[in-house]
C-alpha cells in the first residue's frame, strides 16, 4: 500500500452571495443578501471556502456602506427552500493538512462575525432549511424571521461527528438558554437527527418571528422596518444562572455517558463548548470552537461519519447490485402468505406506500381474525398519531384482505411469504403458490436466515424467487436486504428493488448466503459474547465490553429486543450452516426454555438496559480459566467481525465493504462514527491483523496521511 | 313548508383595492422570474392585512380574472390563489375571462351576487403575466371568423384596431394621440410624486437567479420625462405609415390587482369603510375591427340604467389601451382632451396594462380620487375589450358632500 492514495476533493459547488438594495417602508435602504448556488432545490446550498470568501467580501463591502451611512440594515436570505444546508462537507472529507482544517474553521468565524459587527442591525430571513452552518449564519445575525412552513432547522454536527463551530456553541445557549441549546446541539442530533420546526424555534427563542410562507420575504422586510423604527420590540431571555447552566451541562454529560460511554468524541467536545459559553468572551469561545473543529475535522471518527452518511444518503439512491430498473415488473397487487405480526406490518406498509391491494392468507379463521385485528390496530394507531388522515386509514384498511384460501392470491404480481421459519413449510407454500400464480409473478421470502435457493429449488420456475428481508419493526427500519440466488432472473430482482424503493426503503443486493449481512454479523458479535460468557466471563463484564464502540445498545439488550427465542433460532441456523464460528450457547438455551428475560423489565426512565446479573447462574461461576476481561471480549468480537467480513467478501455476499457498512448502519443502527464497521476495523488495525489487509483504501473513511512525528500537530 | 325569503336588491360597496407594482413583460422585466399566481396571492394577503376587521371566513367568493388561463394562470385562479393565500378552505373561488375587462367582470359578477343576497363579502381581481403568456399566444381562432368575414382579419391585432380608429375618425390625429400619451406620463409622474400611487401598491419579493432576491415597490413601465419631440419620430409598428406608436399604446405588462367588495349592510356590520358604492354597470359589443370604441355604448347603457348623463360624472377612469381609443371616447361624449376629470393619475400608457388586471386598478384609483374630491358625486370606470366590447361601471362617492374626506384615503 502506498498509504497516500486519496480521492481528489470534488470541486466546490460555490454558493454565491448576491446583494441588492431594498427600499424600506419607513425610508432608507436594506441590503438584502441572497445565498444561491445557481441550482434548483435538489442541490442544496452549502458553504465551502470559495462561497464563504465571497460572502465575506460582500459583507465587508456592506460594512463600508454602513459606515458611510448608505444602508440602515442588512439581511441574509436564501434561494427557494434553503437558507443554507451547512458547510460543504465534501471539502473536508479529503483534507490531510490540519492547517487547512483550521483555515475552514477560522474562515467561517471571520465571515459570520461580520454579521454582528456590521455597524447596522442585521437580520436573517430564514426562508427554508437552515442546517448546521446555515443555522449558525442566522444565529450570527441580530434578528431572525422564519417562514412558518420551515421544518428543517437543525445543528446536526454532533450527529456527523463535528460541533457547531461557526459560533453555534457560543451564541445558541446565550440566546435560547442552556437547556434548549443542549437539546438542539446534542439531544436532537443523537436522536436520529431530529429537526426543529418554525413554531418550535419561536417557542425557544431561536427566532424572533414566524411569518406566513406566502409573502414571507415581503413581510420580513416589513418586520425588519418595524424593528428599525422601534415599532416592534424584540425581547430576549436573560442569561441562565451559573447554577442552572452547570446543572444542565452535568445532566447532559450523564445522558451522553449512558448513551455513548465516551465512544464518540464530537458530542463531548460540543458539550465542553456549551459549558463554557456562559462566561467565555467571544474571541476565546470562537478560538475554542476553531480548536474543536480542527481536531474533529482531522479525526477518523468524522471521516468515517461522512463516509457512512454519504452511503446512506447519496449512494443509497443507486443501490449496488440492482439490475436496470426498467426490467422491474409492474406490481399492481401484492400477496402475503401469513398474517402474523411482521406480515401485518408489511401489509400495512405495502398498502400505505405502494397503494395497491394486499391479499393475505392465513391457515384458519382464528388466525385470520387475529391478523385483521393486528392490521386494524396498526392503522388505528397511525390515524391516532396523525400520520394518516381518516380517509387514508379507511383506504389502507379497505385495501387489505385476509383469507384462508390461497387462490385469492392468484392475481398478485408479487407474493411475499412470511410464515414460520421452517424450510419445508416455506417450500410447501412456494409450491402451492406456483400452482395458482401467473407465470410472471415474483415469489419473495422474508426469511432471515434460511436458504432462499433451497426454498425455490423444487419449483418449475425457480428464477422468479428472491429474498426480501425486512427488519423489525418493518415501518421504521430503513433497510431491506434483496437476496438474489443463482437462479434468480434480473426481472425478479429488479422488481424486488423497485418494490423496496417504492416502500421508502434502502435496498442492498445480497447473495443467498446464511444470515445475509445484518444477521450474520450481529449474530457473530452475539456468538462471541455468548462464547465468552460460556467460557467463564462474568455476564456483566461481557455486557460492558462493547461500550467503547458506542453501539445503540448492549449485547444482552439487543438479545432482549430481538427476542431470545428468535435470536437462538437464527444462531442455531447459522451454526448449522457456518459451523463453529457460531457456537451454540447452552446457557442462553436454558434461559429461553425457562422463558426468562436477559435484561430487567424497563424501569420507565429510559435508562439503558444492562444485563440482569441474575442470569449469571445459567453460565456457572464466573472467573474460571478462559474468563476474559472487557478488553478481551471486545478483542474477540472485533477479531470475529473482521474474520466474518473477510469471509463474506470472499463469498461475494455483497459487492464490497461499503454495502456491509450500509447494511449495519441502516439495519442494525451501528453508529456513523464507526462508519458502520469496516472503517473502524481498519483504523484499529483489526482488519490488517486478522485478514492481512485493509477493507477500505486509506482516505476513504479516515484521515489518509500517515500521522508521523513531523506532521503538524 | 318554510316561507321563501323575500328578495330585495342590496347596495354593494367597494371597500378597498390594491395592486402589485406593474412590471415590463420582458425577459429582464421585474417579474420575469415570478409566478403570476404568486402575484395574485400577495394582493389577497395585503387586502386582508389592510382590513383586520374582516374575518377571512366571512369571504364568500374569490373571483380572479386572467385572459390566458393556463400554466401559472391556470387551474381556476380564484380557488388556487385562495388556497395559496391561506384563506380558509371553506372559501370558494372561480376564474373569470373577458380579456381586458376580466377584473372588471370579476367585480360586476360578484357584485351582482352580493346584490341579490347570494353573498356578503367577496374578493375580486385579476392577474396577467404577459411575459409568461404573450397575447393570444395559445389561441387557436376558429377559421370561420375570417372565412365567413365574421370579423376582419386584423381585428385580432389590437394595434391594427387602433389604426382603424384613426382611419374611421380623421379628427383623431397622431398629434392629438402623441399629446395624450405625453400627458398620461406627466399625470402619472405627478400623482406618483404626490404620493397617490404608492399607497395602493403591495411590495413583491422578486428573485433573479443571477442577482438574488429584491423587492419590487414601484411601477416599472412609466417613462417619466417623455416629450412630444422625443416621440414624434417613433416608428408605427402596426402599420407602415400608421399613427399608433409605442408612446401612444399601453406597454406589455405583468401585474395583479385585487379588491374587496361587500354588501353595504355587511360593511357596516364589520366596520369596513365603503369607499365607493356601485350604481350600475353595463357591457356592450361593437365591431371587433374598432374594438376601442367599446366604452362608448357601454357607458351610454350604464348611464341610462343609472338614470344619469355624462354631465353627472365628475371623474372618469378609462383604460388607455391606446391614446386614440381614449380620444374616440372623449369625442363621443364631447369631453376635452385635457379634461382634468379624465385619468387624473395618468393611465395605462404610462403605468401599463396587464390585460385582465386593469379593471380593478381603475376602481382603486377612482376610490382614492373620490376621497380627494367630495364635491364629486359620481364617477365611472370604463375600458375597451378585444374582439369588440366595452365595459363601464358607474360608482357613487360615499364622501360626496362631506368636507373632510381626505383622511379616509
Domain boundaries, chain A: 16-298, 325-510, 518-652
Whether A36 has its CB under 8 Å from any CB of chain B: the answer is yes
Contacts of B48 in chain A (CB under 8 A): none
Cα of B49 to nearest chain A Cα, Å: 11
Give CA–CA dist B174/B232, Å, rounded.
9
Mean pLDDT in residue range A145-149:
98
pLDDT class of B403 with cuts at 50, 70, 90: low
Give CA–CA dist A584/A52, Å, rounded.
58
What is the predicted pLDDT for the residue at B406? 47
Chain B (344-403) residues lying within 8 Å, Cβ to Cβ, of chain A: none
Q: Which residue among the candidates B129, B132, B133, B353 is catalytic per the annotation?
A: B353
Answer yes or no: do B203 and A19 touch at CB < 8 A: no
- Going from the C-alpha of B343 to that of each of A562, B278, B383, the distances in angstroms are 81, 19, 12
What is the predicted pLDDT for the residue at A3? 40
A45, A15 Cβ separation under 8 angstroms: yes
Chain A (13-32) residues lying within 8 Å, Cβ to Cβ, of chain B: 17-23, 25, 32
Give the closest residue to B376 by CA, choosing from B230, B277, B300, B284: B277
Give CA–CA dist A679/A671, Å, rounded.
11
H or E stretch at A688:
helix A686-691
Answer yes or no: do A32 and B209 touch at CB < 8 A: no
pLDDT above 70 (res A432): yes
- Going from the C-alpha of A118 to that of each of A127, A261, A284, B32, the distances in angstroms are 22, 43, 20, 32
A652, A671 Cβ separation under 8 angstroms: no
Mean pLDDT in residue range A619-631:
88
Tally Cβ neighbours within 10 Å of residue A40. 10
Q: Which residue among the candidates B100, B133, B259, B373 is catalytic per the annotation?
A: B100
pLDDT above 90 (res B153): no
Chain-centre distance for alpha carbon A541 = 29
pLDDT above 70 (res A8): no
**Average pLDDT value over all residues in chain B:** 95
pLDDT class of A711 with cuts at 50, 70, 90: very low
H or E stretch at B393:
strand B389-396
DSSP SS3 for B204:
strand
Give CA–CA dist A101/A553, Å, rounded.
33
Instruction: Give the predicted TM-score (pTM) of the model.
Output: 0.92
Whether A617 has its CB under 8 Å from any CB of chain B: the answer is no
Label the pairing between strands B12-19 and B276-285.
Answer: antiparallel
Segment B68-98, tens digit of pLDDT: 999 999 999 999 999 999 999 999 999 999 9
CB neighbour class for B89 (10 Å; exposed up to 12, middle 13-18, buried from 19): exposed
Residue in chain A closest to B42 (alpha carbons) equals A215
| Sequence-ordered list of residues with C-beta below 8 angstroms from that of B36, at least 6 positions apart, any chain | B66, B71, B72, B73, B127, B128, B129, B132, B133, B254, B256
What is the predicted pLDDT for the residue at A91? 78
Tell which wins on pLDDT, A705 or B362.
B362
Give CA–CA dist A630/A645, Å, rounded.
22
Whether A422 has its CB under 8 Å from any CB of chain B: the answer is no
Answer yes or no: do B207 and A215 touch at CB < 8 A: no
pLDDT above 80 (res A373): yes
Residue in chain B closest to A75 (alpha carbons) equals B213
Contacts of A36 in chain B (CB under 8 A): 209, 212
Whether B215 has its CB under 8 Å from any CB of chain A: the answer is yes
Residue B166 among the catalytic residues: no
| Sequence-ordered list of residues with C-beta below 8 angstroms from that of A549, at least 6 positions apart, any chain | A263, A634, A671, A674, A680
Give CA–CA dist B171/B166, Å, rounded.
8
Give CA–CA dist A638/A682, Å, rounded.
11
Tally Cβ neighbours within 10 Å of residue B320. 27
Mean pLDDT in residue range A651-670:
96
Cα of A85 to nearest chain B Cα, Å: 17
Answer yes or no: do B42 and A18 touch at CB < 8 A: no
Q: Where are the beta strands (DSSP E) in A413-537?
A: 414-417, 442-445, 465-470, 479-484, 506-511
Cα dihedral B207/B212/B217/B221 (nearest 10): -70
pLDDT class of B1 with cuts at 50, 70, 90: low
Whether B201 has its CB under 8 Å from any CB of chain A: the answer is no
Which of A215, A216, A226 would you mutate first to test chain B, the one with the most B CBs within 10 A? A215
Give the closest residue to B40 by CA, choosing from B6, B76, B15, B12: B76
DSSP SS3 for B261:
strand
For chain B, the residue count is: 409
| Sequence-ordered list of residues with C-beta below 8 angstroms from that of B226, at least 6 positions apart, any chain | B181, B182, B185, B186, B247
Give CA–CA dist A220/A207, Å, rounded.
12
| Triad B72, B73, B76: Cα angle to 5° | 120
pLDDT above 70 (res A463): yes
DSSP SS3 for A210:
strand
What is the predicted pLDDT for the residue at A608? 67
B282, B310 Cβ separation under 8 angstroms: no
Q: What CATH fold (topology level) applies to the domain A16-298?
A: 2-enoyl-CoA Hydratase; Chain A, domain 1 (3.90.226)
H or E stretch at B181:
helix B174-193
Q: What is the CA radius of gyration of chain A?
A: 28
Q: Concatenated DSSP letters for B106-137?
A: HHHHHHHHHHTTS-SEEEEEEEEETTTS-TTT
Give the closest residue to A33 by CA, choosing from A22, A47, A18: A18
Residue B384 among the catalytic residues: yes
Answer yes or no: do B213 and A221 touch at CB < 8 A: no
| Sequence-ordered list of residues with C-beta below 8 angstroms from that of B150, at least 6 positions apart, any chain | B144
Percent of chain A clearing pLDDT 90 (strictly above) = 88
Residue in chain A closest to B86 (alpha carbons) equals A214
Q: Where are the beta strands (DSSP E) in A316-366?
A: 334-337, 358-361
Segment A312-360, tens digit of pLDDT: 988 888 888 899 999 999 999 999 999 999 999 999 999 999 999 999 9
Whether B45 has its CB under 8 Å from any CB of chain A: the answer is yes
Q: Concatenated DSSP letters for A264-327?
A: -HHHHHHHHHHHHTTTS-HHHHHHHHHHHHHHHHTSHHHHHHHHHHHHHTTGGGS-TTPPPGGG
Tell which wins on pLDDT, A321 or A633.
A633
CB neighbour class for A584 (10 Å; exposed up to 12, middle 13-18, buried from 19): middle
pLDDT above 70 (res B374): yes
Segment B321-341, tens digit of pLDDT: 999 999 999 999 999 999 999
Q: What CATH fold (topology level) applies to the domain A518-652?
A: 1.10.1040
Segment A156-205, tens digit of pLDDT: 999 999 999 999 999 999 999 999 999 999 999 998 889 999 999 999 99
Across A323-361, b (16+ Cβ under 10 Å) vs e yields beeebbbebebbbbbbbbbbbbbbbbbbbbebebbbbbb
Q: Where are the beta strands (DSSP E) in B179-241?
A: 204-208, 212-216
**Average pLDDT value over all residues in chain A:** 93
Q: What CATH fold (topology level) applies to the domain A325-510?
A: Rossmann fold (3.40.50)
Contacts of A80 in chain B (CB under 8 A): 207
Whether B213 has its CB under 8 Å from any CB of chain A: the answer is yes
Answer yes or no: do B210 and A212 touch at CB < 8 A: no
Compute the Cα dihedral for A363, A369, A370, A371 and give only its sign: positive
Contacts of A221 in chain B (CB under 8 A): 203, 205, 215
What is the predicted pLDDT for the residue at A321? 80
Across A450-468, b (16+ Cβ under 10 Å) vs e yields bbbbebbeebebbbbbbbb
What is the predicted pLDDT for the residue at A705? 64
Give the closest residue to B375 by CA, choosing from B392, B396, B399: B399
Segment B244-253, tens digit of pLDDT: 999 999 999 9
Answer yes or no: do A218 and B204 touch at CB < 8 A: yes
Write the residue in B45, B46, B213 that is nearest to A34 by C-beta: B213
Whether A33 has its CB under 8 Å from any CB of chain B: the answer is yes
Label the pairing between strands A16-23 and A73-78.
Answer: unpaired
Answer yes or no: do B41 and A218 touch at CB < 8 A: no
Give CA–CA dist A433/A78, Å, rounded.
56
What are A475's three cell numbers? 415501518
B380, B394 Cβ separation under 8 angstroms: yes
Contacts of B256 in chain A (CB under 8 A): none
First to last CA, chain B: 49
Contacts of A20 in chain B (CB under 8 A): 211-214
Write the residue in A22, A36, A212 that is nearest to B209 by C-beta: A36
B36, B254 Cβ separation under 8 angstroms: yes
Residue in chain B closest to A19 (alpha carbons) equals B212
| Triad A700, A88, A141: Cα angle to 5° | 150
Write the residue in B41, B214, B215 that is nearest to A214 by C-beta: B41
Amino acid at each position: 500500500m502506498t498509504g497516500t492514495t486519496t480521492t481528489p476533493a470534488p470541486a466546490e459547488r460555490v454558493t454565491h452571495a448576491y446583494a441588492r438594495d431594498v427600499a424600506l417602508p419607513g425610508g432608507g435602504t436594506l441590503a438584502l443578501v441572497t445565498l444561491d448556488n445557481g441550482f434548483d432545490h435538489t442541490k442544496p446550498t452549502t458553504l465551502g471556502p470559495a462561497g464563504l470568501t465571497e460572502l465575506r467580501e460582500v459583507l465587508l463591502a456592506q460594512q463600508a456602506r454602513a459606515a458611510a451611512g448608505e444602508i440602515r440594515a442588512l439581511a441574509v436570505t436564501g434561494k427557494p427552500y434553503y437558507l443554507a444546508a451547512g458547510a460543504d462537507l465534501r471539502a473536508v472529507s479529503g483534507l490531510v493538512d490540519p492547517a487547512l482544517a483550521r483555515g475552514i474553521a477560522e474562515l467561517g468565524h471571520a465571515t459570520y462575525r461580520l454579521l454582528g459587527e456590521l455597524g447596522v442591525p442585521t437580520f436573517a430571513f430564514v426562508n427554508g432549511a437552515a442546517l448546521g452552518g446555515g443555522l449558525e449564519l442566522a444565529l450570527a445575525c441580530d434578528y431572525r424571521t422564519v417562514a412558518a412552513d420551515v421544518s428543517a432547522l437543525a445543528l446536526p454536527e454532533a450527529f456527523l461527528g463535528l460541533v457547531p463551530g461557526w459560533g453555534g456553541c457560543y451564541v445558541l445557549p446565550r440566546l435560547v438558554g442552556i437547556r434548549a441549546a443542549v437539546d438542539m446541539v446534542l439531544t436532537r442530533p443523537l436522536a436520529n437527527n431530529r429537526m426543529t420546526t418554525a413554531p418550535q424555534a419561536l417557542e425557544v427563542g431561536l427566532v424572533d418571528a414566524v411569518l406566513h410562507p406566502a409573502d414571507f420575504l415581503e413581510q420580513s422586510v416589513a418586520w425588519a422596518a418595524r424593528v428599525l423604527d422601534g415599532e416592534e420590540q424584540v425581547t430576549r431571555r436573560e442569561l441562565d444562572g451559573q447554577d442552572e447552566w452547570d446543572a444542565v451541562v452535568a445532566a447532559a454529560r450523564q445522558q451522553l455517558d449512558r448513551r455513548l460511554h465516551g465512544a464518540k468524541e464530537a458530542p463531548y467536545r460540543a458539550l465542553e463548548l456549551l459549558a463554557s459559553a456562559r462566561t467565555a468572551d467571544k474571541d476565546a469561545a470562537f478560538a475554542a470552537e476553531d480548536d474543536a473543529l480542527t481536531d474533529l475535522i482531522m479525526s477518523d471518527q468524522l471521516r468515517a461519519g461522512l463516509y457512512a452518511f454519504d452511503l446512506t444518503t447519496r449512494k443509497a439512491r443507486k443501490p449496488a447490485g440492482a439490475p436496470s430498473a426498467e426490467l422491474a415488473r409492474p406490481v399492481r397487487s401484492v400477496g402475503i402468505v401469513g398474517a402474523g405480526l411482521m406480515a401485518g406490518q408489511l401489509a400495512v406498509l405495502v398498502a400505505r406506500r405502494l397503494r395497491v391491494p394486499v391479499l393475505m392468507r392465513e391457515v384458519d379463521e382464528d388466525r385470520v381474525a387475529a391478523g385483521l385485528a393486528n392490521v386494524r390496530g396498526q392503522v388505528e394507531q397511525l390515524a391516532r398519531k396523525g400520520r394518516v388522515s381518516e380517509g387514508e386509514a379507511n383506504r389502507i384498511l379497505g385495501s387489505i384482505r385476509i383469507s384462508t384460501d390461497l387462490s385469492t392470491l392468484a392475481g398478485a404480481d408479487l407474493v411475499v411469504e412470511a410464515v414460520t421459519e421452517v424450510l419445508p413449510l416455506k417450500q410447501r407454500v412456494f409450491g402451492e403458490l406456483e400452482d395458482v400464480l401467473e407465470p410472471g409473478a415474483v415469489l419473495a421470502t422474508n426469511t432471515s436466515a434460511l436458504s432462499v435457493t433451497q426454498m425455490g429449488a423444487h419449483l418449475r420456475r425457480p428464477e422468479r424467487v428472491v429474498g426480501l428481508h425486512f427488519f423489525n419493526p418493518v415501518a421504521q427500519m430503513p433497510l431491506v436486504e434483496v437476496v438474489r440466488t443463482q437462479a434468480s432472473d434480473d426481472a425478479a430482482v429488479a422488481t424486488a428493488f423497485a418494490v423496496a424503493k417504492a416502500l421508502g426503503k434502502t435496498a442492498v443486493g445480497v447473495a443467498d448466503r446464511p444470515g445475509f449481512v445484518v444477521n450474520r454479523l450481529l449474530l457473530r458479535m452475539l456468538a462471541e459474547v455468548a462464547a465468552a460468557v460460556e467460557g467463564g466471563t462474568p455476564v456483566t463484564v461481557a455486557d460492558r465490553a462493547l461500550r467503547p464502540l458506542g453501539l445503540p445498545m448492549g449485547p444482552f439488550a439487543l438479545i432482549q429486543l430481538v427476542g431470545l427465542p428468535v435470536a437462538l433460532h437464527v444462531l442455531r441456523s447459522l451454526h448449522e450452516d457456518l459451523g463453529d464460528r457460531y457456537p451454540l450457547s447452552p446457557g442462553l438455551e436454558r434461559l429461553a426454555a425457562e422463558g426468562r428475560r436477559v435484561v430487567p423489565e424497563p424501569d420507565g426512565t429510559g435508562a439503558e438496559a444492562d444485563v440482569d446479573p441474575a442470569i449469571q447462574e445459567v453460565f456457572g461461576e464466573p472467573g474460571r480459566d478462559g474468563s476474559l476481561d472487557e478488553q478481551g471480549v471486545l478483542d474477540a468480537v472485533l477479531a470475529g467481525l473482521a474474520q466474518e467480513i473477510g469471509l463474506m467478501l470472499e463469498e461475494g455476499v455483497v459487492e464490497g465493504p461499503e454495502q456491509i457498512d450500509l447494511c449495519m448502519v441502516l439495519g442494525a443502527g451501528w453508529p456513523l462514527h464507526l462508519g458502520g464497521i469496516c472503517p473502524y476495523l481498519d483504523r484499529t488495525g483489526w482488519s490488517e491483523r486478522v485478514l492481512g489487509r485493509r477493507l477500505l483504501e486509506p482516505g476513504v473513511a479516515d484521515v489518509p496521511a500517515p500521522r508521523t512525528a513531523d506532521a503538524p500537530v | 313548508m318554510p316561507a321563501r325569503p323575500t328578495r330585495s336588491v342590496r347596495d354593494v360597496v367597494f371597500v378597498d383595492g390594491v395592486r402589485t407594482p406593474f412590471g415590463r413583460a420582458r425577459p429582464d422585466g421585474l417579474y420575469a422570474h415570478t409566478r403570476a399566481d404568486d402575484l395574485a396571492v400577495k394582493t389577497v394577503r395585503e387586502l386582508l392585512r389592510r382590513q383586520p376587521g374582516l374575518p377571512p371566513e366571512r369571504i364568500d367568493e374569490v373571483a380572479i380574472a386572467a385572459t390566458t388561463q393556463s400554466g401559472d394562470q391556470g387551474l381556476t385562479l380564484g380557488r388556487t390563489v385562495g388556497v395559496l393565500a391561506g384563506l380558509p378552505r371553506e372559501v370558494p373561488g372561480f376564474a373569470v375571462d373577458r380579456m381586458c375587462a376580466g377584473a372588471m367582470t370579476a367585480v360586476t359578477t360578484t357584485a351582482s351576487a352580493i346584490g341579490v343576497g347570494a353573498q356578503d363579502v367577496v374578493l375580486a381581481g385579476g392577474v396577467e403575466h404577459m411575459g409568461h403568456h404573450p397575447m393570444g399566444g395559445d389561441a387557436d381562432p376558429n377559421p370561420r371568423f375570417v372565412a365567413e368575414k365574421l370579423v376582419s382579419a386584423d381585428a385580432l391585432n389590437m394595434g391594427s384596431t387602433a389604426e382603424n380608429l384613426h382611419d374611421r375618425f380623421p379628427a383623431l390625429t397622431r398629434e392629438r394621440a402623441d399629446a395624450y400619451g405625453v400627458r398620461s406620463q406627466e399625470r402619472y409622474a405627478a400623482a406618483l410624486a404626490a404620493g397617490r400611487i404608492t399607497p395602493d401598491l403591495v411590495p413583491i419579493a422578486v428573485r433573479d437567479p443571477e442577482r438574488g432576491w429584491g423587492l419590487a415597490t414601484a411601477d416599472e413601465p412609466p417613462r417619466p420625462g417623455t416629450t412630444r419631440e422625443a416621440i414624434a419620430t417613433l416608428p408605427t409598428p402596426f402599420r407602415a405609415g400608421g399613427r399608433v406608436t409605442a408612446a401612444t399604446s399601453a406597454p406589455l405588462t405583468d401585474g395583479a390587482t385585487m379588491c374587496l367588495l361587500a354588501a353595504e349592510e355587511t360593511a357596516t356590520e364589520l366596520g369596513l369603510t365603503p369607499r365607493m358604492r356601485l350604481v350600475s354597470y353595463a357591457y356592450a359589443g361593437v365591431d371587433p375591427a374598432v374594438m376601442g370604441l367599446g366604452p362608448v355604448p357601454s357607458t351610454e347603457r350604464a348611464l341610462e340604467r343609472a338614470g344619469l348623463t355624462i354631465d353627472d360624472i365628475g371623474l372618469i377612469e378609462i383604460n388607455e389601451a391606446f391614446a386614440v381609443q381614449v380620444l374616440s371616447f372623449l369625442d363621443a361624449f364631447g369631453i376635452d382632451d385635457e379634461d382634468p376629470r379624465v385619468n387624473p393619475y395618468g393611465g395605462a400608457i404610462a403605468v401599463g396594462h396587464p390585460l385582465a388586471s386593469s379593471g380593478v386598478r381603475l376602481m382603486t384609483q377612482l376610490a382614492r380620487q373620490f376621497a380627494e374630491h367630495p364635491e364629486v358625486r359620481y364617477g365611472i370606470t370604463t375600458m375597451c375589450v378585444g374582439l369588440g366590447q366595452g365595459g363601464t361601471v358607474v360608482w357613487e362617492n360615499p364622501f360626496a358632500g362631506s368636507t373632510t374626506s381626505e383622511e379616509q384615503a
